[in-house]
Amino acid sequence: MTPILYLTRILFDFGALKALPEELAALGVSRPLLVTDRGIVASGLVETLRAALPGGAELALFDGTPENPTEAAVEAAVAAYRAAGCDGLIALGGGSSIDLAKGVALLATHPGPLEQYAAILGGVPKITERVAPLIAIPTTAGTGSEVGRAALITLRDGRKLGFLAPHMIPRVALCDPELTLGLPARLTAATGMDAITHCVETFLSPRDNPPAEAIALDGLARGWSHIRRAVADGSDRQARREMLLSSLMGGMTFQKGLGAVHAMSHPLGGLDSPRLHHGTLNAVILPAVLRFNAGHVGDKYARLARVLGLPEAADLAEAVEGLNADLGLPASLREMGVPAEVLPRMVEGALADHSNASNPRQATKADYEALFAAAYG
């Protein structure tokens, strides 16, 4: 039996950021730690957030979020949280900042080390309601982490593991499309494909959750029909709103589980060099996995095709490859600079990843070797 849980308080619309003071008060948070990255600081969005707070409000800042959140960054942010006497968190940024803040919310209230809470290592029941309150404010439209129960964090030994539990879901998600208007075209494309992949993979997951499947299809329809517009014109407010909704909906379906795309992209995202963007990885890997899963999902490919406005017998992998090309995204892992010699280690990482269990077709070591080879180009 699959539990169906929707727990996040979500405020979605242009101007949603203005609700931040009352949401902090409702959570009893008087001194939050703002977790973000230096790019967000440089963009002026931190000052935009400060302006939404009443005069004299205390706000501690941690802007050291790396491109892919790490155990070391979590520990540094926990030290900042404790040094400032914080009682809650605000995450402002993309999935990395939100995931990092989730890690801080966990480790600031639970004993270390972090590794013991990883889902693949049996850590889910160790995560309790003591997790510090977190308000997530996304500035990209892709990860859905603002409503997701998981944080993906790379440990010191290079393993990128999932830390997930209902208590990891942010208490509040403030989704303000205004904050995404300045996102560069390349990042708009990469994060948008992340949202689209989430909707596709959760819909294809064999776990039984009809509400999540309905949400995934609607999120996919919004993302697929607006991503080109958002990339072509970043000031297109309607396109930005629809892409943020697509991202949100993809995140709301995570409880169904993801699949082989994410089982492959997670270990690749843990590489020290090159640093690889998660959404771009998903876009590149998705066609190979769609071909692998064909014939193992009942009528779901025909249902996806209808949502995308394609003939029911359309080649979905070719359609994704065409979209990637239109968006200017790379066509292969080779083009992304992935060294061929890391692929055997990535195969082992994919087999061990928590997303592997919910792929609709069970993948063996040989299957992942073939999938990585296909994505490598």
Extended strands (E) in 160-309? 160-164, 172-175
| pLDDT value for 56 | 66
Contact 195, 248 (CB under 8 A): no
Contact 223, 242 (CB under 8 A): yes
Q: How confident is the model at residue 2 (pLDDT cuts 50, 70, 90)?
A: low
The pair of structure tokens assigned to 123 is: 């850590």
The terminus-to-terminus CA distance of the chain in angstroms comes to 40
Residues of the chain with CATH 3.40.50.1970: 9-179
How many of the other CB atoms lie within 10 Å of CB of 350? 27
Q: Model confidence over 313-361: pLDDT tens digits?
A: 999 999 999 999 999 999 999 999 999 999 999 999 999 999 999 999 9
The type of residue at 357 is: A
| pLDDT value for 1 | 55
Q: How confident is the model at residue 240 (pLDDT cuts 50, 70, 90)?
A: very high
**pLDDT(57) > 80:** no
Question: How is domain 9-179 classified at the architecture level of CATH?
Answer: 3-Layer(aba) Sandwich (3.40)
Q: Model confidence over 272-308: pLDDT tens digits?
A: 889 999 999 999 999 999 999 999 999 999 999 999 9
- With a CB cutoff of 8 Å and minimum separation 6, the contacts of 64 are 37, 38, 73, 76, 77
Residues of the chain with CATH 1.20.1090.10: 184-376
- Topology of domain 184-376, CATH: Dehydroquinate synthase-like, alpha domain (1.20.1090)
Contact 98, 8 (CB under 8 A): no
Q: How confident is the model at residue 160 (pLDDT cuts 50, 70, 90)?
A: confident
Average pLDDT, the chain: 95
- Distance, CA of 248 to CA of 161 (rounded, Å): 22
Phi, psi of 94 (to 5 degrees): -85, -165
For 57-61, 189-193, 234-238, 244-248, which range has the lowest pLDDT when averaged over its residues? Answer: 57-61
**pLDDT(5) > 80:** no
Q: How confident is the model at residue 158 (pLDDT cuts 50, 70, 90)?
A: confident
Tokens 């593991």 belong to residue:
161
Mean pLDDT computed over 54-63: 86
Contact 168, 151 (CB under 8 A): yes
Tokens 């299809």 belong to residue:
217
How many of the other CB atoms lie within 10 Å of CB of 139? 25
How many of the other CB atoms lie within 10 Å of CB of 331? 15
Extended strands (E) in 188-310? none
Contact 150, 164 (CB under 8 A): yes
- Distance, CA of 372 to CA of 377 (rounded, Å): 9
